[in-house]
Amino acid sequence: MQPPRTSVFLARDSYRRRRLADALRLLPVVGLLLFLTPLIGTGHGRTTAAGGLFIFAVWFGLIVAAFVLVRLQARSAVSTADPPGPASRAPGHEHSPASAPPDGP
């Protein structure tokens, strides 16, 4: 009889957090490439106004994408965080360091 196999895959929550962090890191690179697009394609009959509107649309899209990605990352970080409770305190330490009498003369 063979021992049970361990999973090679990461937990779904940590995988999702890592992919969101990767997407946030990649967003400025994608934005830079999209900002350079009107400069590369100026010889194809595009007007300056169309290029300006494209850059404004890309800028707005980057803001929205960053907002959505940060919200998703914050939501996944909150859902996986352990809530603080009495189990997190060491037994026998009822006094906080602020209420302890000062040491010294």
**Within a domain: residue 55?**
yes
- Determine the average pLDDT of the residues in 40-65: 85
Sign of CA dihedral 5, 8, 11, 12: negative
82-91 pLDDT per residue, tens: 555 555 455 5
**Within a domain: residue 64?**
yes
Residue 63, domain extent: 12-80
Please determine, for residue 70, whether its predicted confidence score (pLDDT) is greater than 70: yes
The whole model's pTM is what? 0.61
**Within a domain: residue 75?**
yes
23-40 pLDDT per residue, tens: 999 999 999 999 988 877
Please determine, for residue 19, whether its predicted confidence score (pLDDT) is greater than 60: yes
Among 1, 52, 62, 54, CA closest to 26: 62
Number of domains in the chain: 1
**Within a domain: residue 74?**
yes
What size, in residues, is the chain? Answer: 105
